[in-house]
Chains A and B, each alone.
Chain A
């Protein structure tokens, strides 16, 4: 492996890691704020990609408009899930158990609805931007650069929302102390709706960003749900910064393992990395010990 190879692996790993971060952080937000283990999350990744396929391939919109049109649809889908499936279960006993199973049911429904609408054969999306650029010895595709740029923009927007806006702070408030949030007049139901909406956008837009690189298939979201799970647990449940670190770490690992042994070995290596991290730090890289 030459130095150039290493640098290329690093850059590709960071790019993919950042997109994985978007997926993982959405999953983590839903768990942190509403304590829902959201197992239909991967299906929204898939649906984001399929919706983009409708607009980009069938209706010939460019990617800017694809995002502008798809994000509100995803937002509404996420809110509908919260309102009509999660909220009624919240009032009953065994919420954790019921919501977990209901999530699986929703996933099954959404995945096979996608298969019924779009067929079982894989679909592909055109690249975000065509062409390549050469910097010194390195050749980058515009596809990879736009993916990186879009992921950076989304991640920054998320940071701004969570840290600098009142509604974003309300999300954090509910995650940190739901009773405290009610004391200052935050409506838990509204925050849950908002969280599901935003997280669904994160999953779906990651689906759009990754679709030109992987193919879209009805059950394709599961792989990314599992990746999100591993990233979230490795980074420490509830820690956004931990999630970022572990997403980069595992993204680079993926690029490295893919280069050395082939993509088939990525998941075994991820799992091994997860076990190693948990062996050293049982609550993940930056998980709090209080969350036992």
Chain B
């Protein structure tokens, strides 16, 4: 693997996350925020894979998160399967849901994808509520979702370190998959598709197939982390399908930099902590985030990572040409 700026940044982030508990492990609130940041980092990165890199306006990502959470929640409560299997189940269930929603709309123009997935997303909540007889827990939610076990050790809320490192492992796996995907032929062909469909078609790239594969993988990663979330927070309800998470993930992507791997990871950490700091502002907090979102798009369209690229810190080495190819702000030639 060629060492480039993306790898250096990602490795740096993961190392910092790995050593942070040395300082904060006694502060369980900070530890909790860090775990939540990692959860959002996976969800935001997966979403950016579609939105930023793929140009696929899939707006149902939060739905896949919920599907992953409910798959493991329902299976571990009602069927008694192990939470570890639940993680896998969450990923598979969401991946399948991704294929199901992708099949009818990925052949169509981008706007149909956005409309259909948004409609799908909005319908999951009501479905969970009306599906109370199937064991969804209805409006009140599912409770309690059993914790992970490792030998005789049971994960618990008094000790966050095991949760923390488990989440870090999942984050590292997802970042690795994302990086590979972005740089594989699939990723390259995708960016070509986003930037020029006729050109990509002349290369013999089948947009539909690639789009379906990427959608499924992004959904599976989101479902995986959704499943982890369910076991971590113990109780899940349709309220997670509200607008908050939806918009926050997008703000994280924008803030870190869309199609600027691993920008959304940085965005996830910054926004999670910023949100916590702004909590005293109450409903003005979300108003401020809305304004921040618009201002970021207007003034800093490539986010924090775009800013870093502009400054071109020597530490990160020379601008990587391959990464450059994948970035959208290169002037188009006709």
B55 at the interface (CB under 8 A from A): yes
Which residue of B243, B284, B289, B301 is within 8 Å of A116 (Cβ)? B284
Contact present for B283 and A229 (CB under 8 Å) = no
- B114–A37 contact, CB under 8 A? yes
Does B294 touch A at the CB level, under 8 Å? yes
Q: Are A108 and B286 in contact (CB under 8 A)?
A: yes
Chain A positions 177 through 216: 1 when the CB is less than 8 Å from some CB of chain B, otherwise 0: 0000000000000000000000000000000000000000
The stretch from A2-10, A67-75, A95-103 touching chain B is: A95-103
Note all chain B residues with C-beta closer than 8 A to A112.
Answer: 283-284, 286-287, 290
| Total B residues in contact with A, Cβ cutoff 8 Å | 46
The answer to whether the Cβ of A93 comes within 8 Å of any Cβ in the partner chain is: yes
Q: Interface of chain B, helix or strand or loop or mixed?
A: helix
**A97 touching B286, Cβ below 8 Å:** no
Docked-complex contact B286 and A279, CB < 8 angstroms: no
A271 interface hit (Cβ, 8 Å): yes
- A88 and B290 alpha carbons, distance in the complex (Å): 18
Contacts of B120 in A (CB 8 A): 271
- Across the interface, A102 reaches (CB within 8 A) one of B115, B243, B297, B329, namely B297
Give the docked Cα–Cα distance between A111 and B242 (Å): 13
Q: Closest residue of chain A to B51, judged by CB?
A: A97
Q: How far apart are B237's CB and chain A's nearest CB, in angstroms? A: 16
**What's the Cα separation between A282 and B108 when bound, in Å?**
9
Interface residues of A in 236-292 (CB under 8 A from B): 237, 264-265, 267-268, 270-271, 274-275, 278-279, 282-283, 291-292
Determine whether B116 belongs to the interface, using a CB cutoff of 8 Å to chain A: yes
- Please report the C-alpha to C-alpha distance between residue A170 and residue B160 in the assembled complex, in whole angstroms: 62
Whether A219 is near chain B, meaning CB under 8 Å from some CB there, is yes
Q: Which residues from chain A sit less than 8 Å from chain B, CB to CB?
A: 31, 37, 85, 88-89, 92-94, 96-98, 100-102, 104-113, 115-116, 120, 219, 222-223, 226, 229-230, 232-233, 237, 264-265, 267-268, 270-271, 274-275, 278-279, 282-283, 291-292
20 more CB-based (< 8 A) A-B contacts, given A116-B287, A219-B243, A229-B119: A37-B57, A88-B298, A93-B329, A93-B332, A97-B258, A104-B250, A104-B293, A107-B290, A108-B247, A108-B286, A109-B293, A109-B294, A110-B290, A111-B243, A111-B286, A112-B287, A112-B290, A115-B287, A237-B112, A268-B126
